[in-house]
Amino acid sequence: MYGKEIEKVLISGEQIEARAKEMAEQISKDYNGEPILVVGILRGASIFLADLFKNLKGYNVELDFMSLSSYGAGTSSSGEVKMIKDLTEPIDGKNVLIVEDIIDTGITLTYLMKVLQARNPKSVKLCSLLDKPSRRKVELKGDYVGFEIPDCFVVGYGLDYAEKFRNLPDVCILAKEVYEN
Ligand code: IMP
Ligand code: MG
C-alpha cells in the first residue's frame, strides 16, 4: 500500500479509532459532567482530535485550537517553542484538556502547560495520541495516552515530516533514508 518512504505501519487507523473511543469514554467518566474545554494543538493532533472529540459525552464540551512550533524541518525538537496561534477565548475557571499528537522530549508541552496555567484555569490535563517516553528531556506525564511507542520517527494520521505525510490513514515508521543524508 505504501511506497519505499514508509518502513512499516506501526498503528493502523482502525486501532487508533478504537483507542480514541476508549479514551473519550474514560475522559467523560473522569470529568463526570463537568464542562471541558478541549484545546487541540495544530496541526498534528487534528485527525486524532476528531476521533476523540465526537466520542465525548454531554453538551458541555467546548473546542478551541492553538498552534505551536518547536521544529524546523528536521526530526528532533529545536528546544525552542514558538506560539503561532493563541486560543480564541479566555480560559480562566475552565477545565482545559490539551489534545496533542505526540509527547517526545516533552519540551513543547511543558512550555504550553506553563503558559496555560498562568491564565488561571480550573484544571489543565494532557491527552496525547502517542508517547515516546524514552526520549524525554524534561519530566512530563500525559494524563491520557493512546499508545506508547519506541524511539522511531513516525508520520501519518496528522503527524508530518517537513509538512508531508499527514494524510496517511495509519501511523507509520518513516524510512530513515527520507531524513538521513
Ligand atoms: P517535544 O517538544 O519534543 O515533545 O515535541 C513534540 C512535537 O514534536 C510534536 O507535537 C510533534 O509535532 C513533533 N514530533 C515529535 N516526534 C515526532 C514524530 O515521531 N513524528 C512527527 N512529529 C514528531
Ligand atoms: Mg505537533
Q: Whose CA is nearest to atom 5 of ligand 1?
A: 104
Taking the CA of 44 as reference, the closest ligand is: 2
Rg (CA), the chain: 16
- Residue 172 CB–ligand 1 contact under 6 Å: no
Cell of 146: 493512546
Question: What confidence score (pLDDT) does residue 82 get?
Answer: 87
Question: What confidence score (pLDDT) does residue 1 get?
Answer: 84
- Residue 77 CB–ligand 1 contact under 6 Å: yes
Taking the CA of 106 as reference, the closest ligand is: 1
Taking the CA of 160 as reference, the closest ligand is: 1
Q: Whose CA is nearest to atom 12 of ligand 1?
A: 44
Half-sphere exposure of residue 31, counting CA atoms within 13 Å on the CB side? 27
Question: Dihedral (C-alpha) 31, 47, 108, 136: value to the nearest 10 degrees?
Answer: 90
Question: What confidence score (pLDDT) does residue 81 get?
Answer: 87
Query: Distance, CA 28 to ligand 1 centroid (Å)?
Result: 27
Which residue matches cell numbers 505551536? Answer: 68
Distance between CA atoms of residues 161 and 130, nearest Å: 16
Burial (0-12, 13-18, 19+ Cβ within 10 Å), 79 = exposed
> Taking the domains of the chain in order of start, what are their residue ranges?
13-150
Each residue's pLDDT, cut to its tens digit, for the chain (181 residues) gives 899 999 999 999 999 999 999 999 999 999 999 999 999 999 999 999 999 999 999 999 999 999 998 765 567 666 778 899 999 999 999 999 999 999 999 999 999 999 999 999 999 999 999 999 999 999 999 999 999 999 999 999 999 999 999 999 999 999 999 999 7
Cell of 11: 498503528
Task: Provide, for the chain, the percentages of residues in helix, strand and coil under a 3-state DSSP scheme, each rounded to the nearest 5.
Answer: 25, 35, 45
Using DSSP's 3-state secondary structure scheme, residue 84 falls into: strand
Question: Dihedral (C-alpha) 73, 135, 2, 169: value to the nearest 10 degrees?
Answer: -90
Ligand 1 atom closest to the CA of 70, numbered from 1: 2
What distances in angstroms separate CA 38 from CA 57, 87, 99, 121, one per listed residue? 13, 11, 7, 12
Give the domain 13-150 fold. Rossmann fold (3.40.50)
Read off φ and ψ for residue 126, nearest 5 degrees. Answer: -125, 130
Query: Distance, CA 30 to ligand 1 centroid (Å)?
Result: 27
Query: Distance, CA 25 to ligand 2 centroid (Å)?
Result: 24
- Residue 165 CB–ligand 1 contact under 6 Å: no
Tell me the best of 65, 70, 101, 104 to mutate to test the pocket of ligand 1, counting ligand atoms within 8 Å of each CB and taking the most.
104
Residues facing 100 on adjacent strands: 128
Question: What confidence score (pLDDT) does residue 22 get?
Answer: 98
